[in-house]
Structure 1
C-alpha cells in the first residue's frame, strides 16, 4: 500500500511532459536566439553602435523565453496577453447575436463557429443520432451518453480490469487512423433535492417498519445539499475522408463516421453506453451550458432550436472569466503532467457535488505507433543533451534531469512492449449563476484542485471561451489539429 491507502496496482503512471532544447529554452527558441544573435553580430560590423540597442533587446527576449510563468514560457504568456488585449480593443472577444440578416447569424461563437449539426438515422440501432460536422476540416464528431458505474467500493481486481480495458480502447484508437481524438466529459449539476424526495415517495412502502421510515425521512430532509444530477458523455472526432475510398457526399461521410465510432467497445471499462446522443440531446447539453436556467426544460423546447440558437445570445470572453447569458464561468487547465503515480480516484474531488455546476473533461489524442516511437526517441535524445550540457557547465547533471531521462527511457521501453503514446489534458469548468458568486465558485474549484494532491492546474488565461467549448459536444478538441 502507498499513500492514501491505494494499492500500487490501482495507480496510473507514465506521465511525462514533452521537452526539447536545453534548459527552459525549446529547440525552436534556441534556433531563433541563434539567428537573432547572428543578425546582431552582422549588423554591428557596419554599425557598431546598434549593439547598444539590439543586444539588450535580444537578451531580454531570450530571458523571457527561458523564464517560466504559470507552467509556460513567460514569452508565450505575455505574447498571449498582448494578443488578447489587442483582440479586446478590436471587440473580437465580445459576442452579440444579431437579429438582422447576417451571414454568420446561425453559427455558434468562437471555436465552434465552423460546426453545424446533422440529424442522422443510425440503421444499426434504428434511432436518431446527432453528428457535429466541422465545415472547415471536414471532421465529424459523434457523442455517446454514458452510464458510469461506481468503482470506489468495487473489488481491486475489477478496477484493475477496468483500467486495462480502457487502455485497450486507447490502443484501438491508435490503430484507427480515422479517429483523430476523443473527449470524456462528466457534468455535475447540483440539485435542490426534489427529485430524490419524489423518487422515494413513489417507491415508499407504507407498511415498512417505523424505524426504516424514520431513517428515510431523515435522508430526504438532509440530502438536498448533497444531491446532484450527473450527465456524462464521450465525444469521438473522426475524419471520414481518411480512407482508401473516401465518401464524396454528406450522407456517405455520416455513415462512415458512425461505422468508425461503432467499432469502439467500452464494455469492461466501468461504464456503459446508454445510447448515441441525438440532435436534441446535443442541443440540450449545449444550450443548458450557456444558459443553466433551461437545464430542466423538456425535450420539446429544444427540438425546434437551430444549432446557432443553442449558443449564447451575448457573451464576453474575459482574461480569466467567460460571461454568457446571465451566467459567468471560469475554466482551469492542467498546468503540467503529474510527476508521480496517481490514484485511479484522483478526480473524485472534482466529481463531488458542490454549490455550482461543474464540467470535468479529459481530452485524448492517441499517436499512431510510428509517431509515438519517433516522439519518444526525440525525447530521449533531448533529455540526454540537456543532462550533458548541464554536466559540462556545472560538473554534473541535475537529479531532476536524470529522473526525466529515466522516465523517457521507461516510456520508450513500454512502447517497445506494445504500449501507446497518448497526448492528453484535463479541463474543468465551473459556472456561477451570478457574478457575485464567482469568488465562491473559484474558491470551491481551488479547494478541489488542492484535494487531488497530485494535479497542478491553472486558469485558462485568455482562452476561457475555447476551454468552455472544449467541454461541450460541439466537435472542438484542442489536441486535434
Structure 2
C-alpha cells in the first residue's frame, strides 16, 4: 500500500523588468552616451590639449554619473531633478489646482473629472444576459473600458490546494487576454473602506418587533452603535481596456458598434472568473460606476450613498458631475474635496520567490487608513510578438553578461532568468507587463503621516519596493481607480526610448 504524497505548496517568481543590452548595468542609450562622450573627449584632447581635455573629461564624467547612477527605485539624479523642476513649473502656473462647479473654471459649471479623465465619456449598454454595463470611452487614447465587480472568496475556510488552483486559473485567465487582439490592458482594484452601518441600522429598525423584550432591544441598539465603529467593507473590481481600433479596419469603431460587440463577449470574461476565486462576477452599470468614482474623490458622499440605498432610493448622478469641486496636487499628496490622499507606485517587484498569500496583509483593512486602494495594472503582450520580446531579452542579457571577462553573479542570474522565460514562452506561456499603485485616503491631513507609515510597512510585508509618486500624485490617484487607464499611452516620451534608458 503506497503512502499518500505530501502536498508541496508552489512558489511564484521570475519577474523580469525589460532592459536593453549595454555595458554592465547600462542600457543601450546610456552605453551610446558613454561611447559618444569618450569620442568627444578624445577629439577635445587633440584640439585643445591635455588640460582642456582633462577638464572636458571631468565635466562629461560628472554629467554621465548624474544621469546614470540610480537609487534603489531605479531613478537617476537627473530624473529626480527633472521631475522636481517640472512640478515647480506647473505649480507656478497653478496647473496643479482644480476648481469646478458653478463658481469654478469649468465652462459649463459642472463638476467634471480633472486631469486625464477630463475628456472621458460614459455610456451604458446591455450584454447578452441583459445585464447593463458601463462603457467608459477615453478619446485621447482611443480606448474603452468595461468594469466588472467581483466578490472574492478570500483565504478564510479555503484549503491551500484550492487557493493554488485559484491562482493557476487566474494566471490562465490573464494569459487568455494576450490572445485577444483588441485588449490592451487589465487592472484589479481592491478597495477597503469604512462600513458606516447605515444599511444595518435601517435593517434593524425596519424589522424590530414591537413585542420584543427590553433585553433584545438593548442588545440590538448596542449592535447599531458599536458594529459600524469596528467594521470595514472590501470591494474588488476588474477593469478591461479595449482599443477602439481593430486589425483590418481603416478607422476607429463607433461607440455603438463597440458596445454591441462587447455586449456579446462580456459573458465570456465574467463566467470564467468564478474558478479564479472571484466569486460572483457581474458588470458594473453606469450608476454604480459614478458612485464609486464620486466616493473616491469625495469620501463623505459614500455614507450618503449607503443611506439612500438602504431606503430604496437611487441618487441621480451623471458622469459630468462626478468630479471634485476642488482639488490640489502637492509634491507628495493630493487634496480632493473631503479627502486627503497619498499614492505609491511599485518600483521593484518581489525579489526571489513568494507564496500565493504574499499580498494578504496589504489587501486587508488598515486601522490608520480610512480608505485604501491597491490596484494591480496588467498590460498583456500580444501572443504573436511575445516570443520576439523574449528573444530580445535573452540577447540583451547575453550582451550584459558577456561585456566583461568575469560577469557578476547578478548578470549571470539575469541571463538564466531570461532563458527560462523564453523557454516558457516557447511552450505557449504569455508575457504580461505589470505594476502596482497603492492609494491611501484619510479624512484629516493630520492623519496622513500615520497612514504613510502604515502603507510602507504593509508594502514591506508584501516584499514590494514602492516609492511615493512624487510630483504626480493626481495622476497616480487616477490610475488607482477601477477605470482601466493605460498610463504609458499618455506619456510623451516614446516607449522605445524609455526602455533604452
TM range (shorter): 0.7 to 0.9
Aligned CA distance change for structure 1 residues 216 and 37 (closer, same or farther; 3 Å):
farther
Give the whole-Å Cα distance in 1 for the aligned partners of 2:424 and 2:222: 52
For residues 334-358 of structure 1, give each alpha carbon's deviation from its aligned partner in whole angstroms, at most 9, with x where no partner exists: 1212221112111111222223210
Partner in structure 2 of residue 165 of structure 1: 169
**Shift in alpha-carbon separation, 1:198–1:13, aligned structure 2, 3 A:** farther
Q: How many Å separate the matches in 1 of 2:361 and 2:279?
A: 23
Looking at structure 2, the residues matched to 335 and 159 of structure 1 have their Cα atoms a distance apart, in angstroms, of 27
Is 1:239 the counterpart of 2:243? The answer is yes
Cα deviation for residue 359 of structure 1 reads 0.4
* Number of matched pairs: 466
The structural deviation recorded for 1:39 is 4.3
8 Å Cα contact 2:19/2:27 also seen in 1: yes
Q: What corresponds to 1:455 in structure 2?
A: 464
Residue of structure 2 aligned with 1:319, choices 311, 331, 335:
331
Distance 1:213 1:25 in 2: 71
Give TM-score, length-normalised by structure 1: 0.86
Distance 1:302 1:292, change over 3 A: same
Change (3 A) 1:214 1:397: farther
Structural mapping, 1:379-458, within 5 Å? 379-390=393-404, 392=405, 396-452=406-462, 454-458=463-467
More off after superposition, 413-422 vs 222-231: 222-231
1:78 corresponds in structure 2 to 81
Distance 1:439 1:94 in 2: 22
Provide the secondary structure at the position in 2 that maps to 1:9.
Answer: coil
Q: CA deviation at 1:218?
A: 9.6
- In the other structure, the counterpart of 1:275 is 282
Match of residue 339 from structure 1: 351
Matched, 1:155 2:151: no
- Structure 2: any 5+ residue segments left out of the alignment? 1-6, 211-215, 491-501
Corresponding residue for residue 4 of structure 1: none
Question: Cα distance, 1:419 vs. partner?
Answer: 1.0
How do residues 286-305 of structure 1 correspond to structure 2 at under 5 angstroms? 286-296=293-303, 297=305, 298=308, 302-305=315-318
Provide the alpha-carbon RMSD of the alignment.
3.3
Query: Using the alignment, how far apart are the partners of 1:41 and 1:416 within structure 2?
Result: 46
Give 1:175 shift: 0.8
- Per-residue deviation, residues 21-40 of structure 1 (Å, max 9, x unmatched): 23332211222333344445
Q: Call closer, same or farther: CA 1:109–1:220 in 2, change over 3 Å.
A: closer
How far apart in 2 are the matches of 1:468 and 1:222? 32
Equivalent position of 2:33 in the other structure:
32
Q: What is aligned with 1:209?
A: none
Instruction: Find the aligned partners of 1:352 and 1:145 in 2 and give their Cα distance.
Output: 18
CA separation in 2, counterparts of 1:361 and 1:322? 17
The 1:8/1:62 distance shift into structure 2, 3 A limit, reads: farther
Unaligned runs of 5+ in 1: 1-6, 207-211
